[in-house]
Amino acid sequence: MSVDESASLRRAIPIDRIKYDDRGLVPAIIQDYLDGTVLMMAWMNSESLAKTLDTGETWFWSRSRQEFWHKGATSGHIQHVKDIRYDCDSDALLISVEQVGDIACHTGERSCFHQIDTNTVAPPADTLSDLYQTICDRRDNPREGSYTQSLFAGGDNKILKKIGEEAVEVVMACKDDRAPEIAGEAADLFYHTLVALAHHRVSIRDVYRELQKRRK
Ligand SMILES: N=c1c2ncn([C@@H]3O[C@H](COP(=O)(O)OP(=O)(O)OP(=O)(O)O)[C@@H](O)[C@H]3O)c2ncn1[C@@H]1O[C@H](COP(=O)(O)O)[C@@H](O)[C@H]1O
């Protein structure tokens, strides 16, 4: 990480303002910077937070081993810090990272969080990422009666025709300034665009990455 980037992280988080508990620790929630998936939670003390700010990689404090823990040092799954925030009473941190290898949990999963009823580790992601996953699943495991599956079966001819139609419907709804219809037509356009991405094996994360690059 460059000196400028480190300085900017340090500006974002006034280290002496953070409130540590009686063990000198503060919880840090680690989130994927592209789709907001909550990857893990771990503890930091003031020194590990300082190391995180200096290196741009996450450093925690291991309560069981009573030592610093540089995430990914042994596995290679380093977390590069993109953004760091603290909550309104300064006793919790929210850190957005780019996770190398997309594995945050020591069990080899993307996220450490399990769903209560199914015990699956499929992490909650944002609505578009979630829909994209469902669409890819229909592509890879075709299902009777699935509209998505019928689009894949029709290939580019069918998918691209629908994108054209939905785009025109967005335009018409906007021209008429009909707010609920604009939302509905935009949802149709997003959905069909996701089908095109899945058909061409372009990940929605690549689209998010592109948008992130353009942020000013
Ligand atoms: N989000 C969507 C979604 N948005 C829009 N559409 C479909 O896109 C079509 C929109 O086309 P039009 O507006 O032209 O309406 P239409 O005249 O009925 O369309 P056509 O039959 O002429 O193609 C409709 O058939 C909608 O049902 C969607 N179909 C499915 N999903 C999601 O995709 C996932 C998989 O769905 P299945 O493939 O049905 O299992 C599920 O999570 C669904 O919620």
**What does the pLDDT look like over 158-212, one tens digit per residue?**
999 999 999 999 999 999 999 999 999 999 999 999 999 999 999 999 999 999 9
**HSE toward the beta carbon, residue 160, CA cutoff 13 A:** 4
Instruction: Give CA–CA dist 209/99, Å, rounded.
Output: 13
Which strand (E) or helix (H) includes residue 150? helix 147-175
- Measured in whole angstroms, the distance separating CA 47 from the mean position of its chain's CA atoms is 27
Residue 72 identity:
G
**Could you tell me the two tokens for 127?**
């609505």
**Could you tell me the two tokens for 116?**
């209560």
ipTM: 0.87
Instruction: Give CA–CA dist 85/82, Å, rounded.
Output: 10
Task: Give the fold, CATH level 3, of 127-214.
Answer: Helix Hairpins (1.10.287)
Query: Which residue's alpha carbon is nearest to atom 22 within ligand 1?
Result: 162
- DSSP structure class, residue 57: B
Closest to 46 measured CA to CA, from 23, 65, 74, 73:
23
Q: Is the pLDDT of residue 102 over 90?
A: no
Of 35 and 116, the structure prediction assigns the larger pLDDT to 35
Ligand 1 cavity residues, CB under 6 Å: 131, 134, 138, 146-149, 165, 187-188, 191
How many angstroms separate the alpha carbon of residue 146 from the centre of ligand 1?
9
Q: Write the CB contacts of 101 (distance below 8 Å, at least 6 apart in sequence).
A: 75, 76, 77
Q: Write the CB contacts of 82 (distance below 8 Å, at least 6 apart in sequence).
A: 33, 96, 97, 98
Assess contact for 94 and 88: CB atoms under 8 A.
no
Q: Is the pLDDT of residue 89 over 80?
A: yes
Instruction: Give CA–CA dist 107/151, Å, rounded.
Output: 36
Q: What does the domain layout of the chain look like in residue ranges?
A: 5-113, 127-214
Superfamily of structural domain 5-113: Phosphoribosyl-AMP cyclohydrolase (3.10.20.810)
Instruction: Give CA–CA dist 92/6, Å, rounded.
Output: 20
State the pTM of this model.
0.84
Token look-up 């994108």 returns: 163
How many angstroms separate the alpha carbon of residue 147 from the centre of ligand 1?
6
Structure confidence at residue 151 (pLDDT): 98
pLDDT digits 0-9 by tens, 9-45: 777 777 778 999 999 999 999 999 999 999 999 999 9
Per the prediction, the chain carries an average pLDDT of 92
Structure confidence at residue 1 (pLDDT): 65
Q: Is the pLDDT of residue 5 over 80?
A: no
